[in-house]
Amino acid sequence: MSDTLRHVSRALPHDSARKHVAGTAAYVDDLPEPHGTLHLAIGLSPAARGRLIDLGIDAVRAAPGVVAVLTADDIPGRNDIAPSLNDEPLLATDRVLYFGQPIFLVVATTRDAARLAARLARPVVEKETPSVTIEDALARGETVLPDYAFGRGNVAPALADAPLRAQGQFRIGGQEHFYLEGQVALAIPGEDGEMLVHSSTQHPTEVQHVVARILGVPQALVTCETRRMGGAFGGKESQATQWAALAALAAHATRRACKLRLDRDDDMQITGKRHDMRADWDIGFDSDGLIHAIDLQLNARCGCSADLSQGVVDRAMFHADNAYFLPVVDIRSKRLKTDSVSNTAFRGFGGPQGMLAMERMIDAVAWSLGKDPLDVRKANLYRPGHDETPYGMRVTDADTIHAIIATLEETAHYRERRAEIAAFNAQSPVLKKGLALTPVKFGISFTLKALNQAGALVNVYADGSVRLNHGGTEMGQGLYQKIAQLVADEFGIGIERVRITATTTAKVPNTSPTAASAGTDLNGMAAIVACREIKARLAAYAATLWECDADDIVFAEDALSAGNRRMSFKDAAASAIRERISLSSTGFYATPDLTWERDKGRGRPFYYFAYGAACSEVIVDMLTGENRVTRVDILHDVGRSLNPAIDMGQIEGGFVQGMGWLTTEELVYDSDGRLRTHAPSTYKIPVASDVPEHFQVMLHPGANREATVHRSKAVGEPPLMLAISVFAALCDALHSLAPGKLVPLDAPATPEAILRAARQIAPGDLF
Amino acid sequence: MASVTMTVNGKTVTATIDPRTLLSSFLREHLRLTGTHVGCDTSQCGACVVHVDGRAIKSCTALAVSLDGAHVTTIEGLASDGHLHPMQEAFREHHGLQCGFCTPGMIMSAVDIVNRKGAMLDEHTIREELEGNICRCTGYHNIVKAVAAGAQAMAATKVAAE
Ligand code: FES
Ligand code: FES
C-alpha cells in the first residue's frame, strides 16, 4: 500500500476557520440551552487559611430566583476533585485552603440572579496567617509533595575545585493563562442517573471520572463532550474539572440542565497559574566559560494542593540543563505549599522555569568573564562525548541545535548587530540596547509514562464519507485539522469527506489530556492505526475481487486501484458493506522506548527533543525602565511540518505568550493571599503593538529522527521558551551599565523591575 | 422591565428586558447571536466588539436599553448572501486565528479601523489601533497581515461596486 500526500504538509486553514470568521463556531456558552436551564454562581472563601465556621447563606437561600444552594453536604459521592492525591475538595468543608475557594454553589433561574445571591453570603472563617510567598512556605516547612532530586557526580568538591564560581538567587514569576474563553461547563441530566457534560476542557476523561466520583455513579453513566475551547494553554488540563463537576452536581440535585460560566475576575482569582519559583544557584566554571559543576535548587510555589505539581516541577528539573552539558550536577526541588489556589499546568509545564534558571547561570558566567553570552552558550552545548543529560538520557541529535544556532547567528546578523549595539550604547547614556540569542531544547512525552497513549475511532460510511473521532481536544492549536489531513491522505480522499467531530468520552474512552505538546504525536498515530485497519480490510476485499495482492492496492485520488483496475472510494465502501466487511475501527497508540524510572532519577523520559533558537533585540530607557522589543528572528525545528501555517502560528503565538510572561505579566498577591491583579487592566497581556514589526519566523528543515507521524515534531510548547531571548536581551542592555556585574533582574522584567535593577547595578551613574 | 427596539443586522427587533441587560447579553441570549463573545466582562479584551450606528463599541459595557433606535451590526451581519465580508475572508485566508474566540471582535474592530482610517493602513497603525483587542493565541502576526489584506480587499470591492 502506498499513499500520496495531498493534504499533509500543506498550509491549509484551520478546520473551523470559516466558522470562526463568521461567528458560527459554537463554544460551550453558545450551545442552545435545554428548556429550563439553570445558572450557577459560586460562593467564595473570604480568607486564605483558617477554619470555616459558618457559611452564612440564609440570605442567599432567600434571594429572588434562587432554586437551590448547595454545599459540601449535598455531594452524593466523594468531595474530591484532585487529579492525583485526594487533597482538594470540590467545595470547602471544615477548612478553607485559599482566598476565593468555592465554599457553596448557588443555583438560580438566571446568571445574574445567581451572582447577586452569592454576594449576600456572610461566611465566618476563623482566620490564620496564610503562607503567601515562597519564603513563608519555606519558613513553615510545608510542602504538597516530597522533595525530589537527581543529578550526577559529587557536586560540592567539583564546585570547590572549579577555577571560577558564581552564585545567586533568581525569582521567576508565575503567569495567568487568560484563555480568551473563560472556564465554562453545561451539565444535562439524563435517565437512570446519566450525566452529559459539555466542558471547555483539555481532559474530557478526567472530567468524566471526577463527575462520576462526585456523584457517586459509575463512570459509564457520565459523558464529557468537548468540541472546542477558546484557548486553554494548560489552564484547562486539570482545572476545568471543578466547574464541570459543580455543574453536574447542580444538575443532579435539580434534575435540570445547569450552566456555570465563571466571571473573568473570579476566573483569574480562583484558577491556578504557572508555578512561580525561586532558583538558588551555584555554578563552577573555567576561564573558557566551560561549565564544571552546577548546584541548583528549585523552590516551587505549588499552592494549596498537589494538582499537577509533580509533573510540573519534575519538568522544570528536566529542563534545567536546557541544551547544555553539565558534567557534575545536582538538581533539587521543593514543592512548597502555600495558601493559594493550586498552581497548575501552563504551556511548557515547568520547563520554561528550569530553562530560564539555566540561562541566568550562562549569562552570569559570560558577564563575569567579559565574554559574549552567545559564545558561552555555544561552548557548553551538548556535543558528541558530552551528550548525557543529568537524568541519564543521551542527546543523540545535538547537531540540530548546533546547526540552528549557526544559521540564526548568520541570518540575524548577530555579530554585526552586537558591534553596532556596543557602539550605540557607548554614546547613549540613557537609552540602551540589548541583544541575545538563546537556544531551546524541549523534551517531548509526558514524563508520567502512563499518559503516553491515545485512542481513535474511525468510521467509513456507505457513501465514502468518514467520521473521525480521537481523544485529543481542540483549543486552537489545529489538532483537528492536522489529524483530518492525516486521515484524508491515509485513505487518499479529499479532506472534505472527513467529518471532524467533537471529542467525547463516549466514543474514545480512557484518554490522556491534550497536553505536553503531544496531541498530534499521540492522537494522529492512533487515527492512522485505525485508518490502516480499515484500509487493510478494503484492500483484502479489492484483492479478492481483482485477483491481485492486497499489497498492490493503492489508495489515492478518491479511489482504490491496482494496475489498470480502479474503483472509487465510495463504491469500494458501499460494496464492502454489502460483503459484510466492517468499516469501523478503533486505533490505539502508545509511545515506544520510554524508560524513565523516577525513583532512580535515570532513564529516557522523552521520545525526542524539539529544538529552536531566537534572537531578540530590545531598547530600554534606563531612567524609566520602559522598553521595547525591536526585532525578533526565530529558527525553529518542527521536524517535517504537517501544516506549516499552523506550526508557524504556534511559534508566533508561543513566543509572544512567553514574552508576556517574562516582561509585563505580573501577579501581585497581598499579605492576605488575595490576588490583586485579577483583570487585564492590572495584569498586562501583550497586545498587537507590543510585538515588533520585524518578527521573522523560519522553520528549520529536517525530519524527526524518531518514527513520529510523517516525521513531524510537536510544536505546542517549545516556542514559548524562545522568549527567554527577550529576557536575556533586557539583561544584556542592563549589563551595559556596569560590565562585569551580575544583573540583579528577576522575572518578569517589568519596567519597575528594570528600573530597580538599573539603580542597583549602577547607583549614582544615571540617577 | 423596559422595552427596547433596535435594528440588528438589518432586522428590527423589539423586546421587553430587564433594564440592566447588557447589549452583549441581549444579543447572545435574547437574539441567540452567539458570535459576539464575552471574554473579560469588563471592556478590556475586545471579544465582544459590535458596531452601533457604524461605530465599534464593546457590547459588554453597553446597556441594551440605552441603544433604543440604534442600528447594530454583529459578526453574523457582516457576510451578505452567504459571501464572507472581505475582512472575514482575509482572516480565514491569512490564518489570523487559532482558537477563534477573539476573532469576531477582531474582525469587527478591523472593519471599523478601515471605516475610520481608510484602506491604506501601515503596520504601525494597525498594531496601535488593535490595542483594545486581546488575542492570547496568535501573537498577532497573522492578524495584522489579515487586517492589512482585508483593508485592501474592502477598498477593491468598494471600487468594484461603484
Ligand atoms: S467581553 Fe467585552 S471587552 Fe471583553
Ligand atoms: S485566536 Fe485565540 S484568542 Fe485569538
The CATH number covering residue B115 comes to: 1.10.150.120
Could you report the per-residue pLDDT of A68-93, keeping only the tens digit for each? 999 999 999 999 999 988 899 999 99
Q: Answer yes or no: are the C-beta atoms of A101 and A91 closer than 8 Å.
A: no
Range of the domain at A678: 277-447+598-761
The verdict on the CB of residue A17 being under 6 Å from ligand 2 is no
Q: What is the domain count for chain A?
A: 3
Q: What is the A572 CA–ligand 1 centroid distance (Å)?
A: 51
Q: Answer yes or no: are the C-beta atoms of B133 and B48 closer than 8 Å.
A: no
Q: Is residue A375 part of a domain?
A: yes
- B121 and A CB contact within 8 Å: no
Give the pLDDT of residue A1.
Answer: 38
* In a shared domain, residues B72 and B106: no
CA distance B101 to A27: 8
CA distance A445 to A598: 15
Q: Answer yes or no: are the C-beta atoms of A439 and A412 closer than 8 Å.
A: no
**What ipTM goes with this model?**
0.97
Q: Which ligand is nearest to the CA of B56?
A: 1
Q: Answer yes or no: are the C-beta atoms of A228 and A27 closer than 8 Å.
A: yes
* In a shared domain, residues A500 and A518: yes
Backbone angles phi, psi at A230, to 5 degrees: -90, 60
The CATH number covering residue B32 comes to: 3.10.20.30
B44, B77, B110 - which closes a domain: B77
- B98 and A CB contact within 8 Å: yes
For chain A, the average pLDDT equals: 97
* In a shared domain, residues B92 and B70: no
Q: What is the domain count for chain B?
A: 2
User: Cell triple for residue A242?
Assistant: 471543578
Q: Is residue A163 part of a domain?
A: no
Starting at the earlier edge strand, list the strands of the sheet with A431-444. A431-444, A608-621, A627-636, A694-699
Q: What is the DSSP letter of B84?
A: P
- B81 and A CB contact within 8 Å: no
H or E segment at A293? strand A291-303
Asked if A265 and B41 come within 8 Å (Cβ–Cβ), the reply is: yes
Could you report the per-residue pLDDT of B2-38, keeping only the tens digit for each? 999 999 999 999 999 999 999 999 999 999 999 999 9
* In a shared domain, residues B51 and B106: no
Q: B 14-73 residues with CB below 8 A of A?
A: 18, 20, 28, 32-42, 44-45, 47
The CA distance from A693 to the nearest CA of chain B, in Å, is 7
Give the pLDDT of residue A212.
Answer: 98
Contact residues on chain A for B126, CB-CB shorter than 8 A: 688
Does the model's pTM come out above 0.90?
Answer: yes
- List the single residue in B74, B103, B130 with the smallest CB-CB distance to A687: B130
- List the single residue in B41, B95, B137 with the smallest CB-CB distance to A645: B95
Contact residues on chain B for A231, CB-CB shorter than 8 A: 98-99, 101, 136-137
* In a shared domain, residues A113 and A236: yes
Q: Answer yes or no: are the C-beta atoms of A261 and A330 closer than 8 Å.
A: no
Q: What percent of chain A has pLDDT over 70?
A: 99
* In a shared domain, residues B54 and B96: no
The CA distance from A722 to the nearest CA of chain B, in Å, is 13
Contact residues on chain B for A20, CB-CB shorter than 8 A: 91-92, 97, 100, 103-104
CA distance A415 to A72: 63
* In a shared domain, residues B108 and B65: no
User: Cell triple for residue A33?
Assistant: 440551552
Give the pLDDT of residue A5.
Answer: 87
Strand runs (DSSP E) across chain B, as ranges? 2-8, 11-17, 49-52, 55-58, 71-73
Give the pLDDT of residue A765.
Answer: 64
User: Cell triple for residue A470?
Assistant: 480521537
- List the single residue in A265, A649, A689 with the smallest CB-CB distance to B142: A649
- Sign of the Cα torsion A729, A731, A737, A741 reads negative
SS3 letters for A519-536? HHHHHHHHHHHHHHHHHH
Query: Measuring from atom 3 of ligand 2, which residue has the nearest CA?
Result: B135
CA distance A381 to A322: 9
- List the single residue in A25, A681, A685 with the smallest CB-CB distance to B100: A25
Strand runs (DSSP E) across A534-681, as ranges? 554-556, 559-562, 565-568, 584-590, 608-621, 627-636
User: Cell triple for residue A750?
Assistant: 517589568
Q: How far is CA B29 from CA A36, A687, B37, B100, in A?
A: 14, 29, 11, 20
Radius of gyration, alpha carbons of chain B: 16
Range of the domain at B119: 86-161
Q: What is the B119 CA–ligand 1 centroid distance (Å)?
A: 26
Q: Is residue A11 part of a domain?
A: no
Q: How many CA atoms lie within 13 A of B62 on its CB side?
A: 21
Judge residue A654's burial from the number of C-beta atoms within 10 Å of its C-beta, 0-12 exposed, 13-18 middle, 19 or more buried: buried
The verdict on the CB of residue B99 being under 6 Å from ligand 2 is yes
Q: Is residue A482 part of a domain?
A: yes
Judge residue A120's burial from the number of C-beta atoms within 10 Å of its C-beta, 0-12 exposed, 13-18 middle, 19 or more buried: middle
Q: Is residue A622 part of a domain?
A: yes
| Residue-level pLDDT, tens digit, chain B, 162 residues | 999 999 999 999 999 999 999 999 999 999 999 999 999 999 999 999 999 999 999 999 999 999 999 999 999 999 998 899 999 999 999 999 999 999 999 999 999 999 999 999 999 999 999 999 999 999 999 999 999 999 999 999 877 666
Q: How far is CA A331 from CA A146, A242, A281, A445, A766, in A?
A: 14, 33, 10, 21, 39
Query: Which candidate, A76, A15, A73, A67, places its Cα nearest to that of A41?
Result: A67
Q: What is the DSSP letter of A276?
A: P
* In a shared domain, residues A427 and A557: no
- A592 and B CB contact within 8 Å: no
Radius of gyration, alpha carbons of chain A: 27
Q: Is residue A505 part of a domain?
A: yes
Give the pLDDT of residue A85.
Answer: 87
Asked if A112 and B20 come within 8 Å (Cβ–Cβ), the reply is: yes
A270, A292, A321 - which closes a domain: A270
| Identified catalytic residue from A474, A665, A717, A752 | A717
Q: What is the A294 CA–ligand 2 centroid distance (Å)?
A: 40
Contact residues on chain B for A32, CB-CB shorter than 8 A: 32
Q: What is the B27 CA–ligand 2 centroid distance (Å)?
A: 21
Give the pLDDT of residue A3.
Answer: 44
Asked if A476 and B20 come within 8 Å (Cβ–Cβ), the reply is: no
* In a shared domain, residues A237 and A319: no
Q: What is the B102 CA–ligand 1 centroid distance (Å)?
A: 10
Query: Which candidate, A245, A251, A185, places its Cα nearest to that of A213?
Result: A245
Question: b or e along A244-261 (b: 16 or more beta carbons within 10 Å of the residue's beta carbon)?
Answer: bbbbbbbbbbbebbbbbb
The verdict on the CB of residue B106 being under 6 Å from ligand 2 is no
C-beta atoms surrounding A186 within 10 Å:
25
For ligand 1, what atom is nearest to the CA of residue B38? 1
* In a shared domain, residues A469 and A513: yes
Contact residues on chain A for B95, CB-CB shorter than 8 A: 11, 13-14, 17, 645-646, 648-649
**Mode of pairing for the β-strands spanning A258-261 and A38-44:** parallel
Asked if B124 and A693 come within 8 Å (Cβ–Cβ), the reply is: yes
Give the pLDDT of residue B81.
Answer: 86
* CA quadruple A226, A230, A233, A236: dihedral, nearest 10: -40
* In a shared domain, residues B59 and B112: no
C-beta atoms surrounding A207 within 10 Å:
32
Q: What is the B98 CA–ligand 1 centroid distance (Å)?
A: 18
The CATH number covering residue A474 comes to: 3.30.365.10
* In a shared domain, residues A264 and A289: no
Backbone angles phi, psi at B63, to 5 degrees: -85, 135
H or E segment at A696? strand A694-699
The verdict on the CB of residue B47 being under 6 Å from ligand 1 is yes
The verdict on the CB of residue B126 being under 6 Å from ligand 1 is no
Query: Measuring from atom 2 of ligand 2, which residue has the nearest CA?
Result: B99
**Mode of pairing for the β-strands spanning A584-590 and A453-460:** antiparallel
Q: Answer yes or no: are the C-beta atoms of A290 and A361 closer than 8 Å.
A: no
* In a shared domain, residues A604 and A748: yes
* CA quadruple A343, A346, A348, A351: dihedral, nearest 10: -10
Single-letter residue type at B65: V
- A715 and B CB contact within 8 Å: no
Question: b or e along A322-354 (b: 16 or more beta carbons within 10 Å of the residue's beta carbon)?
Answer: bbbbbbbbbbbbbbbbbbbbbbbbbbbbbbbbb
- List the single residue in B41, B101, B141 with the smallest CB-CB distance to A27: B101
* In a shared domain, residues B126 and B143: yes
* In a shared domain, residues A369 and A503: no
A532, A561, A590 - which closes a domain: A590
Q: Which residues of chain A have pLDDT under 50?
A: 1-3
Query: Measuring from atom 4 of ligand 2, which residue has the nearest CA?
Result: B135
B77, B94, B120 - which closes a domain: B77
Judge residue B64's burial from the number of C-beta atoms within 10 Å of its C-beta, 0-12 exposed, 13-18 middle, 19 or more buried: buried
User: Cell triple for residue A621?
Assistant: 530607557
Judge residue A694's burial from the number of C-beta atoms within 10 Å of its C-beta, 0-12 exposed, 13-18 middle, 19 or more buried: exposed
The CA distance from A198 to the nearest CA of chain B, in Å, is 17
Q: Quick check: helix, strand or coil at residue A715?
A: coil
**Mode of pairing for the β-strands spanning A498-500 and A466-470:** parallel
Q: Taking CA B129 as the corner, what is the angle to CA B126 and CA B132, rounded to the nearest 5 degrees?
A: 130
- List the single residue in B88, B128, B142 with the smallest CB-CB distance to A689: B128
Q: How far is CA B54 from CA A264, B49, B114, in A?
A: 28, 12, 12
B77, B102, B126 - which closes a domain: B77
Q: Is residue A767 part of a domain?
A: no
Does residue A237 carry a catalytic annotation? Answer: no
A254, A270, A286 - which closes a domain: A270
Q: Quick check: helix, strand or coil at residue A318?
A: helix
Query: Ligand 2 test: best mutation among A16, A21, A180, most atoms within 8 Å of CB?
Result: A180
Judge residue A6's burial from the number of C-beta atoms within 10 Å of its C-beta, 0-12 exposed, 13-18 middle, 19 or more buried: middle
- A272 and B CB contact within 8 Å: no
* In a shared domain, residues A261 and A299: no
CA distance A358 to A282: 11
